[in-house]
Chains A and B, each alone.
Chain A
Amino acid sequence: DIQVTQSPSFLSASVGDRVTITCRASQGISTYLAWYQQQPGKAPKLLIYAASTLHSGVPSRFSGSGSGTEFTLTISSLQPEDFATYYCQQHNGYPRTFGQGTRVEIK
């Protein structure tokens, strides 16, 4: 099975900061990686799929990059509504594994 490891698990940042989250796959997955945002008590929301394609309606301050085994999610200028937990998920076959999550909190 393909494992995905996110880092960091937690980060503290201020409004306006540039934030980067990393996801590493245990084997090459081309660009079959998605990113989600989850607010407390809510269902996750898709942000990016195929490593770098922005899902419809997602603000352009979110971007994704990477291929193979290393991927990044970048928020160019953190907004108050972006404080949440972020997950990566590989979609290169089964099982479809998620990363452990990165909680982004207000500094």
Chain B
Amino acid sequence: EMQLLDSGGGLVQPGGSLRLSCAASGFTFSNYAMSWVRQAPGKGLEWVSTISRSGDSTYYADSVKGRFTISRDNSKNTLHLQMNSLRADDTAVYFCAKDHRWAEAFDIWGQGKMVTVSS
């Protein structure tokens, strides 16, 4: 069974840093682009970032560009999101997600991790 398990998250002060991780199992991780999507409390879904299969290409939403870094370790089947200079409006549940084989849609999702930015 294809699965993604998110870890990390928690409470951090404004301006602080946090690292999210996502462990993949049940599929060949290196064959798929991977992404992070977030959802602020009571709000809709917001795409955050995507990394290519090899890790050579990365893409970011304007709202996180320059502050967040997506990376992957294909030898360990793990995806990461390093979040720096965190702001209150970064407070959200963060999901990792796998691209569908035939389309840039998200067919497998992690369970999500809450990140709260507050003093």
Interface size band for B: 20 to 34
Contact B102 A96 (CB under 8 A): no
Name the A residues within 8 Å of B59 (CB-CB): 94-95
The residue in chain B whose Cβ has the minimal distance to the Cβ of A92 is B104
Contact A34 B47 (CB under 8 A): no
Name the B residues within 8 Å of A87 (CB-CB): 44-45
Contact B62 A98 (CB under 8 A): no
List, sorted by A's number, 9 A–B pairs whose CB atoms are closer than 8 Å: A32-B103, A34-B103, A43-B110, A49-B100, A49-B105, A50-B105, A95-B61, A98-B45, A100-B44
Nearest CB on B from A33, distance (A): 9
7 closest A-B pairs by CB: A34-B105, A43-B109, A91-B104, A49-B105, A49-B103, A96-B47, A98-B45
86-103 of chain B: CB within 8 A of chain A: 95, 100, 102-103
B111 in contact (CB, < 8 A): yes
Residues of chain A touching chain B, judged by Cβ–Cβ distance below 8 Å, are 32, 34, 36, 38, 43-46, 49-50, 53, 55, 87, 89, 91, 94-101
Name the A residues within 8 Å of B95 (CB-CB): 43-44
B46 in contact (CB, < 8 A): yes
Name the A residues within 8 Å of B100 (CB-CB): 46, 49, 55
Nearest CB on A from B90, distance (A): 16
Name the A residues within 8 Å of B103 (CB-CB): 32, 34, 49-50, 53, 91
